A and B are shown apart, each in its own frame.
Chain A
Amino acid sequence: MGGRRITLLVLMGVAIYGIWSALQMPIGKIQDQGPGFFPLVLSGLLLFLSILGLIFSKEEKEAPLDWKKIWGEFRIPVRIVFLSLGAIYFWEFLGFLIICPLFLFLLFFWASGFRLWKALALGAAGGLIGWAFFIKLLGVAMPIGTFGF
């Protein structure tokens, strides 16, 4: 099964979920639409389009997904995603002044492949510039961590 068919199936799933969600809400009439009216119409349309897409794509010859190859390709993006999730999770807990250099350092070291000391230096520099530019110069409000800074 090709990637396109999978995506269309996912879209169909979203559409079915949408229809189910919409039916939980008051629908109303066309002149006095309830909150569920528009989502219902849209999910129905999405369902129709995704089924249409699936029917027509039966005629194509799509190469099946080579999962091993894909996994190999996504090595670095997965690391980036993992680190980003961590950054977001700890964003308010650790505060900007810790997260910024730490996140940068981990990315430089683990995702970019810089050597340890170079990554540390870059992370520290990034944190410093980030603080100077965003906090001091621009005055953007970034979270203060539980440690008080």
Chain B
Amino acid sequence: MEFFSGIAQGFAAASSLNNLYFCLIGVTWGTIVGVLPGIGPLGGTVLLLPATFGMQPDAAVIMMAGIYYGAMYGGSTTSILMNIPGEAASVVTCLDGYRMARKGRAGAALFISAWGSFIGGTLSICGLAFLAPTLAKFALEFGPAAMFAITLLALLMISALGRGSILNTLCMAVLGLFLGTIGMDTMTGFLRMTYGIKELSDGIGFIPVAMGIFGVSEILVSTQTVLPTVIKPKFRELLPTREELNRSWGPIFRGSLLGFFIGLMPGSAHIVSSFASYALEKKLSKHPEKFGTGMIEGVAGPETANNACTGSHLIPFLSLGIPTSPAIALMMMALLIHGITPGPLLAVNHPEIFWGVIASMYIGNVILVILNLPMVGLFVNILRTPFRLLFPIILMICLIGIYSVNASRVELAIMLIFGIIGVFLRRYGFDGAPLVMAMIIGPMMELYLRQSLMVSGGNPLFFLHSTLATVLLIIAILLIVGSIVFSFLKPQAKKVFEES
């Protein structure tokens, strides 16, 4: 009973004109920030932070939450249109989304992406509303041991991202893991391979690398011979075909579930959920070799998953007052500044905030899908612009975007260098996606392994303390061993090492 009265109260609060207004600002701003490469939801929230000091606390959190999930909508736009990941979670969308755009199916990709985002986001919020208390305690189970097991699983999924031979993919993944070690070692404070360049002490940022390997290299490759004219899409082609829509339902459904559960994990949940969904769809597909050439499943699944984790990612914060990522930490600060204490008593002491935020997320998702779907036409028109007019603008925006985050020229240089590297990698059959993803997972994996060993006092059987960790670890080992054995059993085992 309390639940329904809560939800009713929430909707009442969220529908107040003031809150609706700020919800609209939040989601619109989030979409813009998501579209702009480099600036992510964190940067976008920070830019609006001073405005929140004077706002009502519920409006402030509603707006900031809106920025957060709005960015998940916008990030896919530049990924699909220009192969530039607008947001960390949109890297995976570049793989098939951009290929679809090159084949003239940009409208369909954008449409399905928005549609999937809506469904994923909405289901996630329902999950949040119904399951928050139960899942909150579960989220605490994700100690270092469980997180280490998840990173092992993530490594497995990375191998599904490659298009070429498995050996090439593995090389890129291991290279990515290695590049991830550059910087200050969290456990000892030791500077690894930074050669006195202080900006490198936090590691080679993966956003400059991703934008370099995907976006900049795309520009460099496309300007190689004759500057290409882009396929001009017709109006009919803006919407997905019946077949494409049908193929998307499965990935959307699976992506929602997957994203929701991965969102419970602390840290970069939206990144992991997007490529977990991609890997899952590739494994389940009847034509896995076609992934990377423009399969709609490769867009529908990941885009749904990264939105589906926004709801569950807020659970530890709304139920326990624990911020699981910097953007959420800002929301917490906004509440604190207004004298509201986040924690288990938030739902009891300030139900209008707890339920108001949940209700407004639902409203926000509706606003976003209404905003984004008609804009598909507008965005696709960008593709009509001649490339030679477009690419300098894109390049400038990339530079601005990267610099706006850390004010570091070193990062600009990294983007350029990886752009050049990306050109050669693509030429010779190596993929950038495993590299980029491994750069994110690598440091996490090392950190959690060493933390686990530390917490257990050097005991290699550290995972036994946590049932969750043991279960995940067993799954991970089984899957890894299974795929190695399986790939040797396949009749074309030899071909695994050659180019496809």
Direct contact of A and B (CB under 8 A): yes
Q: Using a CB–CB distance below 8 Å, which chain A residues touch chain B? A: 2-4, 6-8, 11, 14-15, 18, 21, 25-26, 30-36, 38-39, 42-43, 45-46, 49-50, 52-53, 56-57, 59-60, 73-74, 76-77, 80-81, 84-85, 87-89, 91-92, 96, 100, 103-104, 107-108, 111-114, 122, 126, 130, 134, 138-143
If over half of A's interface residues share one DSSP class (helix, strand or loop), that class is named, otherwise mixed; here it is helix
In angstroms, Cα B389 to Cα A4, docked, is 33
In angstroms, Cα B398 to Cα A107, docked, is 14
Number of A-B pairs, beta carbon distance below 8 Å:
162
> Which A residues lie within 8 Å of B193 (CB)?
21, 39
Interface size for B (C-beta < 8 A) is 60
In angstroms, Cα B442 to Cα A114, docked, is 44
Q: A39-B192, A141-B407 are in contact. Are A111 and B420 (CB under 8 A)?
A: no
> Which B residues lie within 8 Å of A8 (CB)?
171
> Which B residues lie within 8 Å of A114 (CB)?
388
A17 nearest in chain B by CB position: B193
In angstroms, Cα B174 to Cα A149, docked, is 45
- A70 smallest CB distance to B (angstroms): 9
- Confirm or deny: B348 has a beta carbon within 8 angstroms of a beta carbon on chain A: no
In angstroms, Cα B412 to Cα A103, docked, is 14
Q: Using a CB–CB distance below 8 Å, which chain B residues touch chain A? A: 39, 47, 167-168, 170-171, 174-175, 177-178, 181, 185, 187-188, 190, 192-193, 219-221, 223-225, 227, 388-389, 391-393, 395-396, 399-400, 403-404, 407, 409, 412-413, 416, 419-420, 423-425, 427-430, 442, 446, 449-450, 453, 458-460, 497-499
> Which A residues lie within 8 Å of B220 (CB)?
77, 80-81
Q: A15-B178, A34-B190 are in contact. List 14 more A-B contacts (CB 8 A).
A: A3-B424, A4-B499, A26-B188, A35-B190, A38-B181, A52-B497, A80-B223, A81-B416, A104-B393, A113-B227, A122-B389, A126-B393, A130-B400, A140-B47
In angstroms, Cα B181 to Cα A43, docked, is 11
**Cβ B175 vs Cβ A3 within 8 A:** no
**Cβ B427 vs Cβ A77 within 8 A:** no
**Cβ B177 vs Cβ A130 within 8 A:** no
In angstroms, Cα B47 to Cα A140, docked, is 8
> Which B residues lie within 8 Å of A21 (CB)?
192-193
**Cβ A4 vs Cβ B190 within 8 A:** no
> Which A residues lie within 8 Å of B399 (CB)?
84, 87-88, 91
B407 nearest in chain A by CB position: A141
